[in-house]
């Protein structure tokens, strides 16, 4: 029997994503000055106010928190007083203090390769053949629709001149009983906008523009196997409440780490509960989650499975993971326990090795903080590798290990 599955994404102007981007921008600035900085930065934002707190250990770095906060807010597009939250006038309070020595003693070791995990916990990575980037289809489409809307707002505002920064998208996809995507069933788009002369005129204009500008652009950007899932029968809901003028932190409080499902797999697979943004890579909440995604993606790309979930678990201060778990949902010819054993043999999963492999001590995190940490295209800028955990450079190793 066919079934429906739904995932959502939020734009860079969503209040929780504003908080995530501020936290990661502050982390980046510490790492830019001190690659060994230990940072756990949390952000709270509401109408007219941003509060930044957390723990930092650094010998050399000094960060102008207020300047970083205002730069991020302005870049997102909150630069008008009428939005109720803007870069030039919002208050900024910093309560960052020194990292606990009790935590630091488990992370910093005489031999760097023996660096322990920054905390206990379990992290998950997931991949499937649903999309070319090995991501769940409903989440991938939600991200891409909002990126299309954002591109219009930043670069072609004349097409939809009423757009404001806050937005959300949600896709429902119909699957066969054998988990094959069949069609896009329902699309929900809520986008913040300027005031209109009348609510009826506003709603008709925005719905028409989403249907006739945004969705066709999205479809045109997709590979053929995904584009053909759109037919004329999909259900479209645009701004279902009828009006969305008050948005961003002026409409809803934003907090770092409150969109962890958007950040990862849209509810497909599993999540260990730890957020990413604002945390330096000694925190395995972040680095081990990236490693788990890398492993799952390379396993699926190599043909070991059509769908794969990888769990890594750690104890604070201990380098080696306490467990490695793999679930291929019956999509592999290999036993899941065997795959987990091979994963331990193929990949060095100590925090220091993960950090070195993906060069995670570089200031590469702010671009991760909106539109997902996974499924992005890796690139090099200023000599630094961004989204290195998305590379497929272990496919041949996996194939040779499994004799594929």
Q: Alpha-carbon torsion 218, 224, 226, 230, what sign?
A: positive
pLDDT number for residue 404: 86
For tokens 């769908």, name the residue.
307
Quick check: 75 and 28 in contact, CB under 8 A? no
- Of 258, 283, 246, 256, give the one whose Cα is nearest residue 72: 256
The pair of structure tokens assigned to 156 is 């072609």
Cβ partners under 8 Å of residue 224, min gap 6: none
**Kind of pairing between the strands at 91-98 and 384-386:** unpaired
> Mind listing the pLDDT tens digit for each residue in 144-175?
999 999 999 999 999 999 999 999 999 999 99
Model confidence at 200, pLDDT cuts 50, 70, 90, reads confident
Q: Residue 283 has which token pair?
A: 């925190």
For 2, half-sphere exposure in the C-beta direction (CA atoms, 13 angstrom radius) is: 12
The reported pLDDT for the residue numbered 35 is: 95
As to burial, measured by CB atoms within 10 angstroms (0-12 exposed, 13-18 middle, 19+ buried), residue 328 is buried
Q: Which residue matches tokens 């190793």?
A: 397
| C-beta neighbour count of 113 within 10 angstroms | 12
Taking Cα atoms as reference points, which of 61, 162, 128 lies closest to residue 307? Answer: 128
Query: Residue 100: is its pLDDT beyond 80?
Result: no
Cα 244 from Cα 230, distance rounded (Å) = 27
pTM tops 0.75, yes or no = yes
* Banded model confidence at residue 112, pLDDT cuts 50, 70, 90: low
pLDDT digits (tens, 9 = 90+) for 206-259: 999 999 999 999 999 999 999 999 998 999 999 998 889 999 999 999 999 999
């Amino acid at each position: 029997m066919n079934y429906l599955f739904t995932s959502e994404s939020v734009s860079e102007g969503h209040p929780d994503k504003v908080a995530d981007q501020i936290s990661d921008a502050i982390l980046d600035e510490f790492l830019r000055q001190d690659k060994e900085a230990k940072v756990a930065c949390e952000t709270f934002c509401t109408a007219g106010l941003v509060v930044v707190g957390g723990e930092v250990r650094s010998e050399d770095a000094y960060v102008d928190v207020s300047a970083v906060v205002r730069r991020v807010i302005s870049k997102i597009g909150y630069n008008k007083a009428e939005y109720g939250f803007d870069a030039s006038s919002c208050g900024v309070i910093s309560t960052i203090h020194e990292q606990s020595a009790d935590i630091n003693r488990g992370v910093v070791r005489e031999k760097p390769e023996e660096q322990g995990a920054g905390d206990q916990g379990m992290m998950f990575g997931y991949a499937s053949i649903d999309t070319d980037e090995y991501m769940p289809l409903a989440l991938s489409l939600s991200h891409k629709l909002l990126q299309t809307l954002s591109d219009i707002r930043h670069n072609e505002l004349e097409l939809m001149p009423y757009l404001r920064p806050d937005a959300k998208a949600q896709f429902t996809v119909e699957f066969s009983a054998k988990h094959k995507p069949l069609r896009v069933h329902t699309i929900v788009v809520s986008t913040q906008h300027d005031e209109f002369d009348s609510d009826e005129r506003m709603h008709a204009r925005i719905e028409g523009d989403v249907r006739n500008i945004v969705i066709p652009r999205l479809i045109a950007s997709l590979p053929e196997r995904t584009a053909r899932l759109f037919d004329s029968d999909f259900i479209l809901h645009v701004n279902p409440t009828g009006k969305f003028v008050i948005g961003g932190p002026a409409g809803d409080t934003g907090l770092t780490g409150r969109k962890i499902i958007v950040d990862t797999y849209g509810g497909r697979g599993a999540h260990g509960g730890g957020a990413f943004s604002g945390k330096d890579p000694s925190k395995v909440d972040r680095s081990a989650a990236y490693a788990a995604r890398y492993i799952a993606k390379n396993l699926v790309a190599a043909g070991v499975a059509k769908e794969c979930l990888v769990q890594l678990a750690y104890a604070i201060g201990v380098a080696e993971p306490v467990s490695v778990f793999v679930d291929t949902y019956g999509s592999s010819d290999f036993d899941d326990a065997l795959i987990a054993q091979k994963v331990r043999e193929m990949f060095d999963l100590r925090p220091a090795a993960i950090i070195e492999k993906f060069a995670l001590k570089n200031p590469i995190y702010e671009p991760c903080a909106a539109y997902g940490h996974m499924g992005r295209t890796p690139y090099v800028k200023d000599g630094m590798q961004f989204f290195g955990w998305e590379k497929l450079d272990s496919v041949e190793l996996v194939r040779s290990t499994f004799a594929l």
